[in-house]
Amino acid sequence: MADDPRPFARTEHWALSDEVSMRDESFGALAYHHGTRRLVFVKSPLLVDVVRRLGDYDNVDDALGALVQPADRERYALALAALADSEILRGC
């Protein structure tokens, strides 16, 4: 079992956990965490894209700046925080 997830911070590097499989679906994607056995909905194709590419950026804000329209960034940051909370994303 993983340790408690570290708190999400937009100024830090976060990426899709290597314990997670993500599968595209018509509504976005399903993400399954092999360690916690939790199945999580990723509810839009753009969020799926952000999650997949998050690890390529130095920090979360850089990823949001590159991939998401300014007006939507706060909303996406909240969605990423929720995914971090369920350990789909891992801080590293």
Partner 1 sequence: MGADSSLRSRFEHGLDAPICLTWELTYACNMSCSHCLSASGRRDPRELTTAEARTFIDEVAAMRVFYINVGGGEPMIRRDFFELVGYAVDRGVGVKFSTNGTRIDAGAAKRLASMDYLDVQVSLDGADASTNDRLRGAGSYAAARRAMEHLADADFGEFKISVVVTRENVTQLDDFAAIAAHYGAQLRLTRLRPSGRGVDSWADLHPTREQNRSLYHWLIDHPRVLTGDSFFHLSPLGQPLDGLNLCGAGRVVCLVDPVGDVYACPFVIHERFRAGSIRDGGFGAVWRSSELFGSLREPGSAGACSACGSYDACRGGCMAAKFFTGLELDDPDPECVYGLGEAALAAHPVSIRPRSAPDHSRARVRSLSVPESLR
- Interacting residues with partner 1 (CB under 8 A): 1, 21, 23, 25-27, 30, 32, 34, 37-41, 43
* Shortest spacing between CB 30 and partner 1, in angstroms: 7
d(CA 79, CA 29) in angstroms, rounded, equals 14
Angle at which helices 45-53 and 60-67 cross, to 10°: 140
Cβ-proximal residues to 11 (8 Å cutoff; 6+ apart), any chain: 59, 60, 61
Q: Residues in the chain, how many?
A: 92
- Kindly report the number of other CB atoms within 10 A of residue 4's CB atom: 7
* Shortest spacing between CB 47 and partner 1, in angstroms: 14
Nearer to partner 1, 37 or 70 (CB): 37
* Shortest spacing between CB 79 and partner 1, in angstroms: 14
* Shortest spacing between CB 18 and partner 1, in angstroms: 9
Nearer to partner 1, 82 or 92 (CB): 82
Nearer to partner 1, 12 or 32 (CB): 32
Tokens of 61: 């804000």
